[in-house]
Amino acid sequence: MQEKPFIIKKTYKDLGRIKRPKNLSEETKKEILEKLFKKNPEIFSSNKEIQKQIRERLDWIEGPNYILPKIDELKDFAERIKEEFLNVVWCGMGGSALFPFVLSQVFGPKEGYPNFYVLDTNDPENIAQIENLPLEKTLFIIVSKSGTTIETLSQFKYFWGKLENLKSNPGENFVALTDPGSPLENLAKELNFRKIFHHPPFIGGRYAALTEIGFLPACLLGLDINKALYYAKNMYEACLPDIPWEYNLSASLAEFLMERYIQGQDKLTFISDPILRPFTLWLEQLVAESLGKEYTGIVPIVGESPGSPTVYGTDRTFIYLTLKGRERIYQRLIMELREEGFPVKTISLEDRYEIFAEVYRWMLAVALCGYFMSLNPFDEPDVVLTKQKTKEFLEKFKKERDFGIEFYLDEETNWGFFYEKTVTIEYPKFTALLKKLFKDLSPWTYIGFLAYLPIDSEIEEIFRDFRTLVREKKNCSTVFGFGPRYLHSSGQLYKGGPILARFIIFTRRGRKAEQIIPGEGYTFWDQQFAQACGDFKALEEKRKPVIMIHLTENYREDLKKFYNYLEKALSFE
């Protein structure tokens, strides 16, 4: 194995501010934990205004204690719902949807409980799939902490309009989960929603898995709530300040992550049992959005196909997430990685329900990493940039019926494309542009494939093949995200994190004129396309090399063709 890439640290902003856990005394480590458990924001910032903001995001430290008095109400509600509805559609984005999605995928509904769908996209095809359900027997749970999430409110407006044409009291089919006093709560009261649940106001979305965000879907799925609480409570007690640092499950995890980060191994790669793989999406958001800012960060790598040690760069750290009794699935690979000197931490769960414990362990560990990295792990300063630019594109479209975007047209494929100025070529040609993007890649650069396409396992598999090809040809890490989902999870990292990153955004033709969002004057396709363009402009402003490819309506075949173009670009010297 080659020498570790210490040079990568030179790209980080102000590395001297990093605190190394191993250099701290046991008394100091305990003091840090004690302050965190007392919700003291001073450990994260000396700025009074920032301290105030952080203080309003620290109630998650109570672990399962917050939700305990609310469990009976959630169970009673779920029992009533299963008698009346065939389907539950959970409408939310980012922290409002990822853990419900994990539960739906890892467990699925218990027999006798409604089908459970998570709609965390505005893609026209995914919207149409929900539209084809028997809507009168479908409950929509509209989830937005702020009550202003554009995708979630658009989903609500669209399906409210559909139900309004089917029944006189559509409010019976809607539930809101939002902050007290939010615009969504006011709307829910006005329209007589079936129920309003309050999101805890002093917990941010990505730290909310042990609140109603996790336990309401758990009840609606018919899960064993007592078992979930048992594991969460045990983990909470195993992380308290009086547990010695080396035995404290969160503190020791934070130290492992920080030691690897200091050594330049900032690509945190998850290898997971297939049953637990959905959980890595939740971990991706927690790590990326909490620690990817100020031009630094830990980069979570999820969803890659496992490969031999020879295809991994030396900037890799591995987390092996497995279930006891099933360790053999990747046992040989893990052994080979260790033999080659890669750092690997194994987390072996007794039971799938232990993910309710792991969320607490990771939330605390990531918060501690924020302290050691001198970052605020509870904000997302660069997310607003894409929102602003998306709003500008939508306002232009509403006024002029045009986004003002002019693509170059590749005559061979009929794909449109344009590019950020750092990858400019003299004579615009698609093949030349792709070659330019992959030229002179440092092995510590990561490549992001961002797809504004339907959330679909076949599409994800196609992009997994792209990722494998890049890794094998260039030894680079790769990330993948469906848009606009990733804007609410890993998008913060892409714009605010390490500068050694390059991106390809994929969109496609296929506007569905009939999917007009009531009161907005544009369709779901328009909204999604504006978000893709907005994020392109945000990445460009952050000086991240990025190109955008606009596929045809036959985008699945286009993606298969793209593999050949990618292979040629990667082989070009």
Model pLDDT for residues 458-475, shown as the tens digit of each residue: 999 999 999 999 999 999
DSSP structural state of residue 172:
G
Residue 4: pLDDT above 50? no
Q: pLDDT band at 426, cuts 50/70/90? A: low
Residue 140 is assigned to a structural domain of this protein: yes
Within 10 Å of residue 255's Cβ, how many Cβ atoms? 22
**Does 206 or 19 have the greater pLDDT score?**
206
pLDDT digits (tens, 9 = 90+) for 503-562: 999 999 999 999 999 999 999 999 999 999 999 999 999 999 999 999 999 999 999 999
* Coil, helix or strand at residue 14: coil
Is 363 in the same domain as 398? Answer: no
Distance of CA 329 to the CA centre of its chain: 26
Residue 395: pLDDT above 70? yes
Residue 234 is assigned to a structural domain of this protein: no
Sole residue written with tokens 């336990």: 215
Residue 482 is assigned to a structural domain of this protein: yes
Is 183 in the same domain as 256? Answer: no
Residues in the chain: 573
Enumerate residues 6+ apart whose C-beta is below 8 A from 514.
none
Strand partners, 347: 321
Q: Which helix (H) or strand (E) holds 77?
A: helix 71-84
Give the number of domains in the chain. Answer: 3
Structure tokens at 478: 């790769």
Residue 393, CA atoms < 13 Å, CB-side half-sphere: 23
For residues 428 and 407, give the distance between their C-alpha atoms in angstroms, rounded to a whole number. 11
Backbone angles phi, psi at 540, to 5 degrees: -60, -45
Nearest of 259, 522, 531 to residue 391 by alpha carbon: 531
Of 372, 404, 431, at which residue does a domain stop?
A: 372
Contact assessment for residue 453 and residue 123, using Cβ atoms and an 8 Å cutoff: yes
Structure tokens at 351: 């039971």
Residue 2: pLDDT above 50? no
Is 367 in the same domain as 248? Answer: yes
Backbone angles phi, psi at 546, to 5 degrees: -150, 140
Question: Which pLDDT value is given to residue 441?
Answer: 87
Q: pLDDT band at 17, cuts 50/70/90? A: confident
Backbone angles phi, psi at 346, to 5 degrees: -95, 130
Read off the CATH number of the domain in which 260 is found.
3.40.50.10490
Residue 410 is assigned to a structural domain of this protein: yes
Q: pLDDT band at 442, cuts 50/70/90? A: confident
pLDDT digits (tens, 9 = 90+) for 187-235: 999 999 999 999 999 999 999 999 999 999 999 999 999 999 999 999 9
Average confidence (pLDDT) over 4-13? 38
Residue 8: pLDDT above 50? no
Contact assessment for residue 288 and residue 489, using Cβ atoms and an 8 Å cutoff: yes
For residues 220 and 213, give the distance between their C-alpha atoms in angstroms, rounded to a whole number. 12
**Does 7 or 321 have the greater pLDDT score?**
321
Q: pLDDT band at 33, cuts 50/70/90? A: very high
Is 361 in the same domain as 402? Answer: no
Average confidence (pLDDT) over 157-171? 97
pLDDT digits (tens, 9 = 90+) for 224-271: 999 999 999 999 999 999 999 999 999 999 999 999 999 999 999 999
Residue 49 is assigned to a structural domain of this protein: no
Side by side, the strands of the sheet bearing 446-451 are: 408-410, 415-419, 546-551, 501-508, 446-451, 477-482
Mean of the per-residue pLDDT values of the chain? 94
Quote the percentage of the chain above a pLDDT of 90: 92
* Coil, helix or strand at residue 322: strand
Q: How far apart are the first and last CA of the chain?
A: 24
Indicate yes or no: pTM above 0.85: yes
Structure tokens at 198: 């309050």
Distance of CA 326 to the CA centre of its chain: 26
Residue 206 is assigned to a structural domain of this protein: yes
Question: Which pLDDT value is given to residue 321?
Answer: 98
Residue 476: pLDDT above 70? yes
Q: pLDDT band at 16, cuts 50/70/90? A: low
Question: Which pLDDT value is given to residue 11?
Answer: 39
Cis peptide before 484 (omega within 30 of 0): yes
Question: In Å, how far are 60, 232, 234, 236 from 65, measured between CA atoms?
Answer: 9, 9, 12, 9
Rg, C-alpha atoms of the chain = 23
Output the CA torsion 523→528→529→532 (10° steps).
Answer: 170
Enumerate residues 6+ apart whose C-beta is below 8 A from 449.
463, 466, 467, 478, 479, 480, 481, 503, 504, 506
For residues 182 and 176, give the distance between their C-alpha atoms in angstroms, rounded to a whole number. 11
Strands (E), 421-531: 446-451, 477-482, 501-508
Contact assessment for residue 421 and residue 555, using Cβ atoms and an 8 Å cutoff: no
Residue 428: pLDDT above 90? no
Quote the percentage of the chain above a pLDDT of 70: 96
Contact assessment for residue 100 and residue 213, using Cβ atoms and an 8 Å cutoff: yes
Of 319, 342, 372, at which residue does a domain stop?
A: 372
Contact assessment for residue 325 and residue 306, using Cβ atoms and an 8 Å cutoff: no
Is 250 in the same domain as 392? Answer: no
For residues 226 and 426, give the distance between their C-alpha atoms in angstroms, rounded to a whole number. 64
pLDDT digits (tens, 9 = 90+) for 169-188: 999 999 999 999 999 999 99
Write a three-state SS string for 131-160: HCCCHHHEEEEEEECCCCCHHHHHHHHHHH
**Residue numbers of the domain that contains 550:** 383-571
Is 400 in the same domain as 538? Answer: yes
Is 413 in the same domain as 555? Answer: yes
For residues 302 and 459, give the distance between their C-alpha atoms in angstroms, rounded to a whole number. 16
Question: Which pLDDT value is given to residue 15?
Answer: 53
Distance of CA 481 to the CA centre of its chain: 8
Nearest of 363, 344, 342, 355 to residue 256 by alpha carbon: 344
Is 176 in the same domain as 88? Answer: yes
Is 212 in the same domain as 131? Answer: yes
* Coil, helix or strand at residue 117: strand
For residues 108 and 75, give the distance between their C-alpha atoms in angstroms, rounded to a whole number. 17
Is 286 in the same domain as 305? Answer: yes
Is 442 in the same domain as 475? Answer: yes
Of 372, 407, 431, at which residue does a domain stop?
A: 372
For residues 242 and 253, give the distance between their C-alpha atoms in angstroms, rounded to a whole number. 16
Report CA torsion sign: 42, 46, 48, 52. Answer: negative
Cis peptide before 170 (omega within 30 of 0): no
pLDDT digits (tens, 9 = 90+) for 102-140: 999 999 999 999 999 999 999 999 999 999 999 999 999
Residue 456 is assigned to a structural domain of this protein: yes
Within 10 Å of residue 70's Cβ, how many Cβ atoms? 16
Within 10 Å of residue 405's Cβ, how many Cβ atoms? 17
Nearest of 243, 506, 534 to residue 396 by alpha carbon: 534
Q: pLDDT band at 446, cuts 50/70/90? A: very high
pLDDT digits (tens, 9 = 90+) for 337-366: 999 999 999 999 999 999 999 999 999 999
Lowest mean pLDDT among 74-83, 156-165, 272-281, 411-420: 411-420
Report CA torsion sign: 14, 441, 443, 569. Answer: positive
Residue 52 is assigned to a structural domain of this protein: no
Question: Which pLDDT value is given to residue 424?
Answer: 62
Q: Which helix (H) or strand (E) holds 431?
A: helix 430-437
Nearest of 54, 152, 60, 330 to residue 318 by alpha carbon: 330
Strand partners, 504: 449, 547
Is 417 in the same domain as 338? Answer: no
